[in-house]
Amino acid sequence: MAFETIHPAQAALGECPLWCARTGRLWWVDIEAPALNCFDPARGTNRTLPMDENIGCIALRRQGGFIAGMRSGLWLLDEDGRKLERIANPQPDSTISRFNDGRADPWGRFWAGTIHEPRDRPAAILCRVDTDLSCTQVAGDIMVSNGLAFSPDRAWMYHSDTPAHVIYRYPLDADGTPGPRELFHQFPHGNGRPDGAAVDADGFYWSALYEGGRVVRLSPAGEIVAEYPVPARCPTMCAFGGPELRTLYVTSARHGRGAEELAEWPQSGDLFAMQVETPGLPEPGFAG
């Protein structure tokens, strides 16, 4: 198994790949372009929908369109990415903070976290949008919120803080309320940081390692069981897709990377895919 380029996007900061089973297409964002994108693997084509501000994460709404985490807050979008309504803006200062990673959970709610851009203190937050569109801050003490994913048995929520090189997990009760976080995996410094992630049907956690040039698969016990090189030094997030959810898609970045690195990694910013043996989980939609 190996990752190959399926779309030479050359994105500034590709993120949040999201498979739509109904249309057989992959949605993803370029945070810095900024743009919402739709890749059609059957035709090899990509549709780009420009946005008027940074867009960090999306989830499909069950009634159509999207919920999105953007620089100015949490928004509802129509099917063409046009803004319909801002739900909330819980972040302290959008001039130095924006929404980053996020996804819908099995209960139909949307989780999204922010990034504190100065990186001088853990001032980012993690929020949950319930189906009545109310927004609650669930966690703080984060610098860059990433890696949100949920175990197949709905027992755990995973979440990473990228600059801290750490992945946490939270126990979930029957209605999906998280308990105290605990350490899931601590990466050593200097060989990649945990960015976006996805969980497969066996409960293994796949993490894209930014500045690590690879995707790692971790067991439910938090042990690395496999590593897969990516043709970009900065993979950003992975998502399962395809008819049987056995295609692992990965976005990547080239924004802020030096000329020497881009010469060594010319596919930086592209969209990659690899066939895997264990399928992923269907991506829940936002029920609000």
Virtual CA dihedral for 52, 58, 60, 63, nearest 10 degrees? -50
Say which of 105, 195, 200, 270 is annotated catalytic.
195
Q: How many domains does the chain have?
A: 1
Residue 12 tokens read as: 């500034």
Residues 6+ apart with CB under 8 A from 14: 28, 29, 30, 236, 251, 252, 253, 269, 270, 271
Note whether residue 285 is domain-resident: no
Note whether residue 77 is domain-resident: yes
CA distance 188 to 205: 18
Q: Which is it for strands 97-104 and 110-116: parallel, antiparallel or unpaired?
A: antiparallel
How far is C-alpha 35 from the geometric centre of its chain's CA atoms? 15
**Residue % of the chain over a pLDDT of 90:** 98
pLDDT grade, residue 163 (50/70/90)? very high
Active site residue 195: yes
- The CATH number of the domain holding residue 251 is 2.120.10.30
Residue 78 tokens read as: 């129509």
278, pLDDT greater than 90: yes
66, pLDDT greater than 90: yes
**Per-residue pLDDT tens digits for 70-121:** 999 999 999 999 999 999 999 878 999 999 999 999 999 999 999 999 999 9
**Per-residue pLDDT tens digits for 207-259:** 999 999 999 999 999 999 999 999 999 999 999 999 999 999 999 999 999 99
**Per-residue pLDDT tens digits for 108-154:** 999 999 999 999 999 999 999 999 999 999 999 999 999 999 999 99
Contact criterion met (CB below 8 Å) for 30 and 11: yes
Mean pLDDT of 180-195: 97
Note whether residue 228 is domain-resident: yes
Contact criterion met (CB below 8 Å) for 272 and 11: no
Note whether residue 284 is domain-resident: no
Give the range of the structural domain holding residue 207, as residue numbers without chain letter: 4-275
Contact criterion met (CB below 8 Å) for 7 and 281: no
Note whether residue 281 is domain-resident: no
Contact criterion met (CB below 8 Å) for 26 and 250: no
21, pLDDT greater than 90: yes
pLDDT grade, residue 3 (50/70/90)? very high
Q: What is the pLDDT of residue 240?
A: 98
Q: What is the pLDDT of residue 1?
A: 82
Average per-residue pLDDT in the chain? Answer: 97
CA distance 157 to 167: 11
Q: What is the pLDDT of residue 92?
A: 78
Note whether residue 280 is domain-resident: no
Q: What is the pLDDT of residue 149?
A: 98
pLDDT grade, residue 161 (50/70/90)? very high
